């Protein structure tokens, strides 16, 4: 604030953000759990700017993050205006009413862990990301839990971000019991990396890869870093060359885009390509948990937020609807005779009948969801249990996606997999030409055991100059082998993601023989995966032969069947066609009388004609 000048921020429709229900754990030496924050976090819009949004904290002085919503300059506090942060936050089939994956609202249930060097500003950061994801990706970020290490770090937090990420995922698996789609660590440690955080690409919903790590910074930088980490979790990728590639070019050269290495100020938008990568990730079966609406929001109950909370009968999902009411719901109370006001299984204020498809399957490994007849909400989004056969018996379902070597080669390089002999010959050598991964401490290469050759280095019939995803490490390998009177092309390459994953190896879950699947570059019997079985499944019969076993180990029954094991035949009655007033038409009696009269008339004409012919 300059001398004699008063600076005013007019924030209207401000909503206080209190989180009395969040599982909040402070882990100290004594193990004492506290709830240490004040009720001093707000979000709203700038008065007179309907497309704007603002996040505000008054906990320890005034901290603000805002956007005016247009393509013009961002209005930031003075300290944010002065700081230039390069882009990417671098330090130098359905029934009539079913929505698509784009139009259906998604939900990221987020848990945050703070190390003992990072204990403030998190809620303001979260509020900022809520606005970005909701407006640009139709995805709501719901904070479900928070954990703070007040005395010491509960795991090694080192300068190598990939090692810290691995340590954090192990800590998550062993110690974190709260259910969430993603867990993100905020640390006061400065990582040896060109970026302020990293996360597992496409790891959302995974118990072992659903997370990321982020550096401490000011509110703006932390908000964008978290946006980037969550973006990686939902299938977005970094690509340094993308900014010059046609439609992938970031439209804002000054601010840059969130997943791009461009711009000079903190970006606030995703590029078209980042959004497309998210949609493709969903269409390929990734992120299935994102379609599951949380049981409750941890914000204070509010009419108009789209969630039916205590004291409400309905919630049509907008402030305008909450004020003015709709056909089915007025001020969060159902209108006369209404059963529901919104939801994929609500039509004309009534529940959709049982069996109506509310969410189509997106691939061979997905399961369509149908309305239950007694709820307005579409059931949880589930997919087939790992191990199901897919792609005309060529692949196996794993993590909701159909895994084949052909499919992996096409996605990464644009061509089908190479001949089996390439794998048998080259992966058994254990050289840079073919192997089952790097040797101890990154030295040399591991030979594949003979049964595991189809789970090692990925060979394709042809490759492009560089992979479609990831950064090419080293050079593309290309070998020609002569086998059974023909020449075989065996080509591949190491394509590294930010999280250290190498896409140049055969994916887990890919078939490697009859009733065999790859796991960590070994070919194992399907039985070794310890896949659970659903009720009514034995001797090759799954769900009594009338259903599909889901990843939640529950039977999803075929039409006309029900029960936990789908053994109960319960046909769905066909919908009755509404009938109006009976249309008047010729009755059977009238038709008979008309026929007789017509016959008499015809006879008279014939006889008359005969009489006219003779005198």
507 & 411 share domain: yes
Q: How many domains does the chain have?
A: 4
| Global confidence as pTM | 0.74
**pLDDT of 591:** 39
350 & 219 share domain: no
Domain presence at residue 242: yes
Q: What is the mean pLDDT of residues 342-366?
A: 93
154 & 286 share domain: yes
Domain-terminating residue out of 351, 383, 415: 383
Domain presence at residue 356: yes
279 & 362 share domain: no
452 & 557 share domain: no
pLDDT band with cut points at 50, 70 and 90 for residue 533: confident
**pLDDT of 201:** 92
Domain-terminating residue out of 383, 401, 436: 383
Indicate whether 267 pLDDT > 50. yes
**pLDDT of 402:** 96
pLDDT band with cut points at 50, 70 and 90 for residue 612: very low
45 & 152 share domain: yes
Candidates 376, 395, 377, 360; CA nearest to 99 is 360
pLDDT band with cut points at 50, 70 and 90 for residue 134: confident
Higher pLDDT, 161 or 132: 161
**Torsion (CA) 340, 345, 346, 347 in degrees, nearest 10:** -160
Q: For residues 174 and 604, give the distance between their C-alpha atoms in angstroms, rounded to a whole number.
A: 102
202 & 106 share domain: yes
Higher pLDDT, 17 or 277: 277
Higher pLDDT, 145 or 173: 173
Q: How far is CA 343 from the centre of its chain?
A: 19
Within 8 A by CB and 6+ apart from 342, the residues are 306, 314, 315, 316, 317, 328, 329, 376
Within 8 A by CB and 6+ apart from 495, the residues are 412, 467, 469, 470, 471, 472, 473, 502, 503, 504
120 & 33 share domain: yes
Of 50-54, 242-246, 368-372, the one with minimum mean pLDDT is 242-246
Higher pLDDT, 424 or 267: 424
Domain-terminating residue out of 327, 351, 383: 383
Domain presence at residue 253: yes
Within 8 A by CB and 6+ apart from 378, the residues are 291, 343, 344, 345, 358, 359, 369, 371
pLDDT by residue (tens digit) across 206-240?
989 999 999 887 777 888 889 999 999 999 988 66
Handedness of CA 79, 270, 284, 561 (dihedral sign): positive
Q: For residues 505 and 412, give the distance between their C-alpha atoms in angstroms, rounded to a whole number.
A: 11
Domain presence at residue 615: no
pLDDT by residue (tens digit) across 556-600?
999 999 999 999 999 998 877 655 555 444 444 443 344 434 433
Domain presence at residue 143: yes
Q: What is the CATH number of the domain that holds 94?
A: 3.40.390.10
Indicate whether 604 pLDDT > 80. no
Q: For residues 521 and 436, give the distance between their C-alpha atoms in angstroms, rounded to a whole number.
A: 6
214 & 278 share domain: yes
**pLDDT of 68:** 53
Higher pLDDT, 37 or 80: 37
Q: Which residues of 377-389 are buried (b: 16+ CB within 10 A; e: fewer)?
A: bbbebbbbbbbbe
**pLDDT of 269:** 86
110 & 235 share domain: yes
**pLDDT of 66:** 56
Domain presence at residue 169: yes
Domain presence at residue 434: yes
505 & 554 share domain: no
Q: For residues 422 and 478, give the distance between their C-alpha atoms in angstroms, rounded to a whole number.
A: 11
91 & 207 share domain: yes
Higher pLDDT, 411 or 527: 411
- Angle (CA) 399-403-406 rounded to 5° is 160
- Per cent of the chain over pLDDT 70 is 71
- Per cent of the chain over pLDDT 90 is 43
* Long-range CB contacts for residues 329-335, cutoff 8 Å, separation at least 24: 331/303, 332/303, 332/304, 332/308
Indicate whether 601 pLDDT > 70. no
Q: Which domain holds residue 519?
A: 389-529
pLDDT by residue (tens digit) across 273-319?
899 999 999 998 899 999 998 876 666 788 887 788 888 998 877 77
Domain presence at residue 319: no
Q: What is the CATH number of the domain that holds 347?
A: 4.10.70.10
pLDDT by residue (tens digit) across 29-59?
444 444 444 455 555 555 666 555 555 555 4
Q: What is the mean pLDDT of residues 516-534?
A: 88
DSSP structural state of residue 336: T
pLDDT band with cut points at 50, 70 and 90 for residue 197: confident
Q: For residues 490 and 481, give the distance between their C-alpha atoms in angstroms, rounded to a whole number.
A: 7
Length of the chain: 615
């Amino acid at each position: 604030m300059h001398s004699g000048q008063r600076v005013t921020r007019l924030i209207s429709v401000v909503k206080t953000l209190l989180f009395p229900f969040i599982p909040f754990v402070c882990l100290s030496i004594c193990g004492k759990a506290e709830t240490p924050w004040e009720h001093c976090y707000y979000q709203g819009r700038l008065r007179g700017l309907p497309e704007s949004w603002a996040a505000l904290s008054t906990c320890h002085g005034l901290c603000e993050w805002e956007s005016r919503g247009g393509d013009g300059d961002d209005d930031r506090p003075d300290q944010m205006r002065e700081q230039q942060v390069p882009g990417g936050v671098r330090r130098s089939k359905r029934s009539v009413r079913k929505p698509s994956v784009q139009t259906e609202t998604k939900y990221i249930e987020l848990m945050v862990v703070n190390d003992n060097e990072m204990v403030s500003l998190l809620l303001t950061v979260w509020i900022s990301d809520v606005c970005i994801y909701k407006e640009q990706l139709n995805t709501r970020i719901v904070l479900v839990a928070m954990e703070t290490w007040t005395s010491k770090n509960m795991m090694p937090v080192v300068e190598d971000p990939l090692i810290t990420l691995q340590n954090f995922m192990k800590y998550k698996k062993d110690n974190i019991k709260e259910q969430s789609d993603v867990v993100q660590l905020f640390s006061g440690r400065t990582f040896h990396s060109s970026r302020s955080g990293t996360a597992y690409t496409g790891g959302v919903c995974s118990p072992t890869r659903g997370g990321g790590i982020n550096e401490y910074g000011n509110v703006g930088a932390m908000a964008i870093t978290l946006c980037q980490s969550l973006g990686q979790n939902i299938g977005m990728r970094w690509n340094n060359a993308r900014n010059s590639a046609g439609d992938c070019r970031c439209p804002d050269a000054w601010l840059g885009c969130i997943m791009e290495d461009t711009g000079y100020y903190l970006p606030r938008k995703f590029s078209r390509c980042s959004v497309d990568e998210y949609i493709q990730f969903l269409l390929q079966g990734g992120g299935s948990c994102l379609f599951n609406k949380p049981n409750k929001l941890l914000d204070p109950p509010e009419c108009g937020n789209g969630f039916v909370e205590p004291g409400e009968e309905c919630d049509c999902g907008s402030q305008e609807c909450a004020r003015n009411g709709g056909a089915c719901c007025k001020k969060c109370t159902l209108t006369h005779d209404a059963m529901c006001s919104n939801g994929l299984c609500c039509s004309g204020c009534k529940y959709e009948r049982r069996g109506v498809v509310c969410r189509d399957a997106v691939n061979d490994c997905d399961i369509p969801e149908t309305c239950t007849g007694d709820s307005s909400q579409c059931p949880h989004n589930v997919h087939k249990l790992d191990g199901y056969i897919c792609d005309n018996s060529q692949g196996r379902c794993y993590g909701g996606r159909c895994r084949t070597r052909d499919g992996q080669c096409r996605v990464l390089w644009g061509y089908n997999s190479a001949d089996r002999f390439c794998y048998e010959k080259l992966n058994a050598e254990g050289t840079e030409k073919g192997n089952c991964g790097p040797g101890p401490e990154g030295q040399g290469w591991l030979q594949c055991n003979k049964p595991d050759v189809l789970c090692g280095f990925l060979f394709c019939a042809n490759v492009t100059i560089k992979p479609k995803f990831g950064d090419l490490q080293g050079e593309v390998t290309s070998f020609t082998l002569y086998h059974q009177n023909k020449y075989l092309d065996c080509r591949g390459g190491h394509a590294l993601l930010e999280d250290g994953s190498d896409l140049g190896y055969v994916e887990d879950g890919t078939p490697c023989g009859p009733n065999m699947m790859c796991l960590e570059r070994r070919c194992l019997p399907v039985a070794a995966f310890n896949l659970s079985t659903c009720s009514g499944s034995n001797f090759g019969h799954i769900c009594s032969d009338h259903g599909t076993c889901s990843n939640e180990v529950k039977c999803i029954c075929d039409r006309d069947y029900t029960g936990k094991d789908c053994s109960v035949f319960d046909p769905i009655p066909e919908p009755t066609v509404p009938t109006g007033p009976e249309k008047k038409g010729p009755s059977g009696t009238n038709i008979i009388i008309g026929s007789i009269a017509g016959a008499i008339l015809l006879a008279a004409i014939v006889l008359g004609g005969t009489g006219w012919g003779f005198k």
